[in-house]
Amino acid sequence: MGRKFFVGGNWKCNGTTDEVKKIVSMLNEAEVPSEDDVDVVVSPPFVFLPIVKSLLRPDFSIAAQNCWVRKGGAFTGEVSAEMLVNLGIPWVILGHSERRRLLLNESKEFVGDKVAYALSQGLKVIACVGETLEQRESGSTMAVVAAQTEAIADRVLNWSNIVLAYEPVWAIGTGKVATPAQAQEVHSELRKWLHENAGAEVAATTRIVYGGSVNGANCKELAAKPDVDGFLVGGASLKPEFIDIIKSSTIKKSSL
Ligand SMILES: O=C(CO)COP(=O)(O)O
């Protein structure tokens, strides 16, 4: 059986209540392929999770953008995995490069701990990996993404609730998308890494999605690549073209 296409919309730190309602209406009115063929998961900021949950169509799902590394308690400003479960939020994005680097210096070990804890609480995880431009130019792309993936693999045995998101840092929010060949190369290397380090079954079934300046115009060519199992979309997930990105899942079906 093929891997089900996955399209995540990471809204990052954007939106007002009115804007969020408008995006949800746009999503609710859209005609998209059936949930048997594509998982659609939108990720609003924490404060909008309840309203999005109450308004969003039932065939789309919701992710938080982060959660605390362990059980909640005296950690001002954090939100725990237990709280997300309590709210009925099934997914969480962990290890996004904006948190690894720009904001909080989250280390790969810390991200690995978060992934393991969130899974243990019953959440599904979109785990992000990716290299900086400097790392790509020095030829260490694979070493970097393998080390980030290893920090997860060291702590997790069951990969069935993980989607791996390859997001090259240089492509995020820059308009500089990886070419389909560049994305395919890293995805296929990651799958090989999973094969060698987590087993054939994990490699064959784990979805590896691409993120970084995906839009309505470039999604089809990327989706056509055999190891690109979907997308994690930032800026374009706030716009109507997100629907076109969801529809790019049909390319996969026709190429099966
Ligand atoms: O970071 C991303 C998704 O998590 C990608 O962001 P952009 O699509 O805005 O480049």
Mean of pLDDT values over 166-172? 95
| Greatest C-alpha distance within the chain | 51
Is any ligand 1 atom within 6 A of the Cβ of residue 234? yes
227, pLDDT greater than 80? yes
Is any ligand 1 atom within 6 A of the Cβ of residue 214? yes
Is any ligand 1 atom within 6 A of the Cβ of residue 146? no
In this prediction the ipTM stands at: 0.99
**78 a catalytic residue:** no
* Whole-number average pLDDT of the chain: 95
Q: Which domain holds residue 129?
A: 5-255
Say how many Å lie between the CA of residue 97 and the centre of ligand 1: 10
- Which residue in 41, 27, 26, 23 sits closest to 231, CA to CA? 41
Is any ligand 1 atom within 6 A of the Cβ of residue 177? no
Catalytic residue, from 96, 98, 106, 131: name it.
96
**187 a catalytic residue:** no
- Which residue in 113, 60, 78, 93 sits closest to 167, CA to CA? 93
Mean of pLDDT values over 139-168? 97
The share of the chain scoring above pLDDT 70, in percent, equals 97
Q: How many CA atoms does the CB half-sphere of 241 hold within 13 Å? A: 12
The residues near 165 (Cβ < 8 Å, ≥ 6 apart) are 8, 93, 126, 127, 128, 129, 208, 209, 210, 211, 232
220, pLDDT greater than 80? yes
2, pLDDT greater than 90? no
20-66 tens-digit pLDDT: 999 999 999 999 999 999 999 999 999 999 999 999 999 999 999 99
Is any ligand 1 atom within 6 A of the Cβ of residue 222? no
Is any ligand 1 atom within 6 A of the Cβ of residue 212? yes
pLDDT of residue 106: 85
Strands (E), 111-255: 124-129, 162-166, 207-210, 230-233
Higher pLDDT, 233 or 77: 233
Closest ligand 1 atom, residue 12 Cα: 4
Catalytic residue, from 98, 106, 167, 187: name it.
167
- Band of residue 234 on the pLDDT scale cut at 50, 70, 90: very high
DSSP string across 59-116: TSEEEES---SSS-SS-TT---HHHHHHHT--EEEE--HIIIIIIS---HHHHHHHHH
Give the CATH number of the domain where residue 68 resides: 3.20.20.70
pLDDT of residue 130: 96
Count of domains in the chain?
1
pLDDT of residue 252: 79
**Ligand 1 pocket test: which of 12, 125, 166 has the largest number of ligand atoms within 8 Å of its C-beta?**
12
**Ligand 1 pocket test: which of 233, 239, 241 has the largest number of ligand atoms within 8 Å of its C-beta?**
233
196-218 tens-digit pLDDT: 999 999 999 999 999 999 999 99
Closest ligand 1 atom, residue 213 Cα: 10
123, pLDDT greater than 60? yes
